Chains A and B, each alone.
Chain A
């Protein structure tokens, strides 16, 4: 479904990605793990059209994405939940969710608001509150809900656990597991490798802009090198 080939990204004089190839198939949850600064966020931002690659190709269902604008890519159903949530702070929770449906662009009807509320009941309780007044965990739920309103065909999640308390992380990942069970295709970026390998079917390990290892998540979690390198370090890494 998503095919990335030899992707290179340079910006501000830094080489962030040095030839990354990666695939996500329909219905799969693929994790991208690796230390801070490995280029994980750069990769999702390249897929979303926020940064432009200097070489390589990105294709979604055979259509090239690497020269499209960010809003066109969102309109195709490739939807990102950005790092640090990035909800619209001065708008209400409901308005944030309604804006998520902008990405539909007359594709089929989206995931109804009720379903998002069922997944994250707090968003119904706080419907009329300004998004900026929510806690970090609630904002993360709102950011995911906002992307769901656009009926994602590929959901890109950038560090959904970042800065959240363990109990909140558990709630967020329980919701992600529900989405997985419903067949949602997900590319998950995580520093917390334990969480990421637990949820995903396959994983890629990125270091200094290169894929250094990839394979089935279960196999990676059992690999001694991976365990000592990535699972041994603290989640905040």
Chain B
């Protein structure tokens, strides 16, 4: 596993923009990025520094059909959409697919049998339960189970945790909006918590969840303030 805390976050941001991070590190970085405004500014600065390199590539004229498809899709008002098989039946607000579209490239958590789960997802119209394994690749620390219908989630400790007096706070990390707190978790056994209303429509397969280290009692600001320790992605529970 990569010890990211030992790394200079600005150089990591540069490597992210450059594109050299290996897929797992890139995924983890994107979760941190969604939760960290300072990191967002660093990434923007690297994008500005390196952007002139794009000019070194010769332009290519797209086929006319490309624009026609874009214009037609926008005229129909269905800009970003998921692959057809992934659309759940639950009606959700339109902004959500933007987020899904944005996160579409993410890989499933390496600790799960991602391929078979993905195949199952395509067939499943409406997953009753979602699960996520949070941790570093190959080192699960939490097992999260969310039942959107019942409006409850459970977080079970399944591996060694970062020790210390500080609180472990769970977050739902939407693509285009601020993280939503799902509450502080007990560091042993199982924590059950009600799902906050704003989080419910965003709890779908593919959604990103993360645990950050916060002052006792949870983040004083309502937004993550400490380091992100564990991340994962929700998938439909095949046994759910």
Asked whether A and B interact, the reply is no
Interface residues of B, Cβ cutoff 8 Å to A: none
